[in-house]
Structure 1
Amino acid sequence: MSTNQLKGKTAFITGASRGIGRAIALSTNSLAKEGVNIVIAAKSTEVNPKLPGTIYSVAEEIKQIGGQCLPVGCDIRSEEQVVNAIKLAVERFGGIDILINNASAIWTQRTEDTPMKRYDLMNGINARGTYMCTYHCLPHLRESAKKGRQPHVLMISPPLNMDPKWFQPHTAYTMAKYGMSMCVLGMAPDFEEYGIAVNALWPRTSISTSALKMIADGLDDMSRSVDIMSDATLVILKKDSRCTANFFIDDEVLLDAGYTEKDLTKYSKPGAELQMDFFLDDTVPKQLRSKL
């Protein structure tokens, strides 16, 4: 079920000023290098000394490799800003074919240590922001489908695992992150009649990002590089829109695409003991997550 060509399509990526979102836009195997027009929708418009990267620095990097990019300052908790960002994207590139809901907030503390400010932040960005971006992109994704352009919505969110161990230590974070995955659960069958694919992608292990280095000392050595997520994203987006309703795991996507276990070693330091990411264990069989 391959669409083969991404060139000329337009991708709206939330939270793409750094980390996984930036990698999907810009890394060695990335949308920009495939000739996709990139809309960088994120809050980071000014340099943060602790977290490198802004929408403008990513846009400049994309331009340097000959790509087309529109940086738009956008807090996805604001409906006005989301609507404006999508409007600017359509005015610039003529439509939207791919939506990647990557923006996310994390706070892995127990209920007694999670005040409403943190709860509202995570749910406002993760669950509500994902729903809102998808809602407002939907008319343009439907137009893309009418033109036979095989539109996709991809959430960077985990398979739904109802084991209480994933709730007890950080109930609010799990609720917010699962809100993104529940969008997949409902929107995939809802959008199927339009010819729009809706899938989720989640990393097997922790991923090395600037944010991870700041919040978890030592975990970086036990993590894979962001490139594994961008490579897996390309595999998914090159499939036609009948490939829908999946909760993909990055290394499974690549192995099913012909990568070997040896190939996967390039994403981590030699001999690294990799740290499993949240929400993954043996209680979620592959056949319940993916229909590759």
Structure 2
Amino acid sequence: MTGPLAGRVAFVAGASRGIGRTVAVALAEAGAAVAVAARSEREGRLPGTIHSVAGRINESGGRALAVPCDVTSEESVEAAVAATAAEFGGIDILIANAGVLWLGPIESTPLKRWQLCLDVNLTGVFLVTRAVIPHVKARGGGSLVAVTTSGVGMTDRGATAYWVSKAAVERLYLGLAAELRPDNIAVNCLAPSRVVLTEGWTAGGGGKEIPDEMVEPPEAMGRAAVLLAGQDAGGVTGTVQRSEATHRELRSRQLRS
């Protein structure tokens, strides 16, 4: 395929539905070969599987591989990343999107729910990032993107488990950007500017009181992810981006350079 990401390989964790699915399709449309990674091999409580997303990309003329991956398992992550590199010859781009939602107050948050948010949303990002880095280094540079949330700054809503885990990811990636600059690897976080009503968000009850003007189409995240995926350390790195502002931010940086 042709496009700004032609010849590149992307590993998208959490790609069976929602934002991850939209980003995987957008990267493929931009020319990248895409590993569609997630636990969802069969239809369950929520719609979407890695096979349905990969099939959609392949049927549209792109290149995609469905890769089973549990981001909380070191062995599963290592196997998924190795399978991707073996199939496509390497990895240039990571989109760390796998996540679970919990927005209850701290007082009524079960320990197992708190731990699950940290295991998936934070440790999962750590594991997939650590596994992908050597492959991106071997390609001479590339881009790592972690999907976070604009809710990180909502301190008036309480320090909920979901937002705490995402705030920790932002700190992880800001530090990692400095570590990987000498290797020509861009490291950024990407969050929706508004709320994306994904299947997980809606099923968890998070979207029931969101006014229409606060809802963002998932395609905005796809467009922003493509732009960040095309960066290296000489471009945008060490930032927390908001989807609908990413185009303006990149143009501004280009004018200053």
**Same fold? TM cut 0.5:** yes
**Counterpart Cα distance in 2 of 1:194 and 1:160:** 31
Instruction: In structure 1, give the amino acid aligned to 2:134.
Output: P
Q: Secondary structure, in 3 states, of the residue corresponding to 1:16?
A: coil
* Contact 1:11 1:39 (C-alpha < 8 Å) held by counterparts: yes
Q: Secondary structure, in 3 states, of the residue corresponding to 2:76?
A: helix
Deviates further, 173-182 or 118-127:
173-182
Alpha-carbon deviation of 1:158? 4.2
CA RMSD of aligned residues (A): 2.3
**Counterpart Cα distance in 2 of 1:251 and 1:239:** 17
* Contact 1:19 1:210 (C-alpha < 8 Å) held by counterparts: yes
Is the aligned partner of 1:59 residue 2:54?
Answer: yes
The residue number in structure 1 matching 2:233 is 241
Instruction: In structure 2, give the amino acid aligned to 1:139.
Output: P
The residue number in structure 2 matching 1:20 is 19
* Contact 1:154 1:201 (C-alpha < 8 Å) held by counterparts: yes
Instruction: In structure 2, give the amino acid aligned to 1:40.
Output: V
From 192, 195, 199, the equivalent of 1:210 is 199
* Contact 1:108 1:169 (C-alpha < 8 Å) held by counterparts: no
TM-score, normalised on structure 1?
Answer: 0.79
TM alignment of 1:48-127, pairs within 5 A:
48=44, 50-127=45-122
* Contact 2:101 2:201 (C-alpha < 8 Å) held by counterparts: no
- CA distances 1:174-193 after superposition (whole Å, capped 9, x unpaired): 22111211111210001111
**Counterpart Cα distance in 2 of 1:137 and 1:200:** 16
**Counterpart Cα distance in 2 of 1:56 and 1:178:** 31
Gaps (5+ residues) in structure 1?
259-286
**Counterpart Cα distance in 2 of 1:160 and 1:226:** 17
Larger radius of gyration: 1
Instruction: In structure 2, give the amino acid aligned to 1:231.
Output: R
TM-score, normalised on structure 2?
Answer: 0.89
* Contact 1:39 1:70 (C-alpha < 8 Å) held by counterparts: yes
Deviates further, 184-193 or 229-238:
229-238
Alpha-carbon deviation of 1:253? 1.0
TM alignment of 1:1-292, pairs within 5 A:
5-26=4-25, 30-48=26-44, 50-145=45-140, 150-158=141-149, 164-165=155-156, 168-170=158-160, 172-214=161-203, 215=205, 216-217=207-208, 219=210, 221=212, 222-242=214-234, 243-256=236-249
Paired residues in the alignment total: 248
